[in-house]
Amino acid sequence: MKHFLRVVTQFFVFLYCKCLWRGLKFVTRKLTGRCELQRICYNNKHGARRTLKIESSLRFSKNALLQSALSVHPDKVEKTIEDIIALKKINPDTNPQLGISLQASLLQIVGYRTLVAEVEKLRREPYDCENPEHEDMLMKLWKELRPDTPLTGRISKQWCEIGFQGSDPKTDFRGMGLLGLHNLLYFAEHDKATALQMLHDSLQPKHNETNKPEWEQKNIDKAIGYSFAIVGINITDLAFSLLVSGALKTHLYNVAPETPSLMHLQQTFCYLMQEFQRFWVEEDPCDIMEFNRVRSKFHRRILRQLKNPDMALCPHFAASDLHLVNL
Ligand SMILES: *[C@@H]1O[C@H](CO)[C@@H](O)[C@H](O)[C@H]1NC(C)=O
């Protein structure tokens, strides 16, 4: 009986809060003459702050049109915004900025979903030696990372020089499929200096610190003691899980003015590689056996950073730079 009463009380309290919330929304709308979406757009600058709020406002909306806006096809975004503005009885002539703002945010929201699907497809595509495109990419990767050393054959121990495990890299891509190769190649092509430096440092032997004279200690700092390509494939896994879990929304909504693309994710990968190396050196692990520990600590740190709605992971392409005009 007591239990029953408690449940009933809880139910009424819940109902009461819900009515109160709706009433509050209604009164605010009457007072300001603006609906929730308008208030979000006026009170938050373009980027994750605004888009995350719009996303949750649409998700929890009672209205079918507003709810379905989240999964609309990217080509239908413009029409959807017109419908929303009509539904909310907002005059587009006196609120010209609203449509533009809403559209940019909705393009980010539906673009993120599309990107997850695109990336998942790449990840599922296995590396195929019979496919000339795949083989070309692999050869390009070699040329970018080892410009002065020709490869003696497709199957060669030389692959270990760029951090693969054996004489045929195809087996190393297993977990991440073509996505790993795409990322490594993007890094080598677009952030070449950093990639070459990382590769160089990874090839330094990790010295035994105690019996080295001080002037040689410099080299110790640079020795990483892990395999470049293998770590690249593993950091691809990290970037992929950040994307799929939705944690990367903050970052992508801040760096992509509209639809986030594969290129944005690849830039994120470059940033993660660089940061992971810095983190690894700071953590100063004895050997590769500590990879698990360092990686999960790094993962937690990135997740924590992404909780801040102003966070952008790549400083070169941050929201405050050229990309985001104040929409
Ligand atoms: C990356 O490393 C973590 C931790 O060692 C492991 O659980 C994960 O399976 C690895 N991912 C790939 C694609 O190798």
Q: How far is the CA of 17 from the centre of ligand 1 (A)?
A: 45
If asked whether residues 42 and 62 sit together in one domain, one would say yes
* Mean pLDDT in residue range 215-242: 80
Q: Is the CB of 234 under 6 A from ligand 1?
A: yes
Amino acid at 248: L
Task: Give me the percent of the chain exceeding a pLDDT of 90.
Answer: 70
Task: Give me the percent of the chain exceeding a pLDDT of 70.
Answer: 88
**Ligand 1 atom closest to Cα of residue 233:** 13
CA-based nearest residue to 38, from 26, 24, 54, 62: 54
Q: Is the CB of 279 under 6 A from ligand 1?
A: no
Task: Report the C-alpha gap between 204 and 68 in whole angstroms.
Answer: 54
Q: Whose CA is nearest to atom 2 of ligand 1?
A: 234
Residue 1, in any domain of the structure: no
Query: What does each C-alpha distance from 72 to 99, 105, 262 come to in angstroms?
Result: 16, 13, 20
Q: Is the CB of 231 under 6 A from ligand 1?
A: no
Query: For 57-71, 94-108, 250-264, 306-320, which range has the lowest pLDDT when averaged over its residues?
Result: 306-320
Q: Whose CA is nearest to atom 3 of ligand 1?
A: 292
Task: Report the C-alpha gap between 83 and 86 in whole angstroms.
Answer: 5
If asked whether residues 183 and 247 sit together in one domain, one would say yes
CA-based nearest residue to 137, from 148, 128, 147: 128
- Give, for ligand 1, the residue of 228, 234, 235, 288 to mutate: max count of ligand atoms closer than 8 Å to Cβ: 234
Task: Report the C-alpha gap between 326 and 95 in whole angstroms.
Answer: 16
Q: How far is the CA of 216 from the centre of ligand 1 (A)?
A: 33
Q: Is the CB of 292 under 6 A from ligand 1?
A: yes
Residue 135, in any domain of the structure: yes
Average pLDDT, the chain: 88
Q: How far is the CA of 165 from the centre of ligand 1 (A)?
A: 15
If asked whether residues 148 and 288 sit together in one domain, one would say yes
Task: Report the C-alpha gap between 151 and 85 in whole angstroms.
Answer: 60
**Ligand 1 atom closest to Cα of residue 176:** 13
Which alpha helices (H) appear in the chain, and where do they start and end?
A: 2-32, 36-43, 48-59, 64-68, 77-87, 96-124, 132-145, 177-190, 192-203, 217-222, 228-245, 249-255, 262-283, 291-306
Over 80: is that where the pLDDT of 324 sits?
no
How many domains does the chain contain in total?
Answer: 2
Residue 5, in any domain of the structure: no
Q: Is the CB of 181 under 6 A from ligand 1?
A: no
pLDDT at 31: 66
Task: Report the C-alpha gap between 123 and 169 in whole angstroms.
Answer: 16
Query: For 62-71, 89-98, 131-140, 147-156, which range has the lowest pLDDT when averaged over its residues?
Result: 89-98
HSE, side-chain direction, 13 A CA sphere, residue 33 = 4
Q: How far is the CA of 241 from the centre of ligand 1 (A)?
A: 11
pLDDT at 245: 97
Packing angle, helices 262-283 and 96-124, rounded to 10 = 70
Sign of CA dihedral 275, 281, 285, 288: positive
Q: Which residue has the higher pLDDT, 259 or 225?
A: 259
Task: Report the C-alpha gap between 135 and 169 in whole angstroms.
Answer: 11
* Mean pLDDT in residue range 138-161: 96
pLDDT at 265: 96
Q: Whose CA is nearest to atom 1 of ligand 1?
A: 234
If asked whether residues 40 and 176 sit together in one domain, one would say no
Q: Whose CA is nearest to atom 4 of ligand 1?
A: 292
Q: Is the CB of 233 under 6 A from ligand 1?
A: yes
Residue 12, in any domain of the structure: no
pLDDT band at 256 (very low <50, low <70, confident <90, very high): very high
Q: How far apart are the first and last CA of the chain?
A: 57
Q: Which long-range contacts (CB under 8 A, 24 or more apart) does 55-64 make?
A: 55/105, 55/109, 58/109, 63/87
Q: Is the CB of 166 under 6 A from ligand 1?
A: no
Residue 9, in any domain of the structure: no
Over 70: is that where the pLDDT of 11 sits?
yes
Whole-prediction pTM: 0.84
Q: How far is the CA of 105 from the centre of ligand 1 (A)?
A: 34
Q: Which domain holds residue 265?
A: 127-321
Over 80: is that where the pLDDT of 186 sits?
yes
Residue keyed to tokens 């297993």: 174
If asked whether residues 115 and 247 sit together in one domain, one would say no
Structural tokens at position 208: 């035994």
Q: Is the CB of 290 under 6 A from ligand 1?
A: no
Question: What SS3 state is found at 170?
Answer: helix
pLDDT at 24: 77
Q: Of 123, 155, 184, which residue sits at a domain end?
A: 123
What DSSP string runs through 250-280?
HHHHHH-SSS--HHHHHHHHHHHHHHHHHHH
Residue 327, in any domain of the structure: no
Q: Is the CB of 237 under 6 A from ligand 1?
A: yes
Q: Whose CA is nearest to atom 14 of ligand 1?
A: 234
Task: Report the C-alpha gap between 26 and 20 in whole angstroms.
Answer: 10
pLDDT band at 212 (very low <50, low <70, confident <90, very high): low
At 62-106, the pLDDT tens digits run 999 999 999 999 999 999 999 999 999 998 888 888 999 999 999
- Nearby residues of 112 by Cβ (< 8 Å), 6 or more positions away: 249, 252, 253, 260
pLDDT at 4: 81
Structural tokens at position 170: 């195809």
Q: Of 123, 138, 157, which residue sits at a domain end?
A: 123
Q: How far is the CA of 231 from the centre of ligand 1 (A)?
A: 9
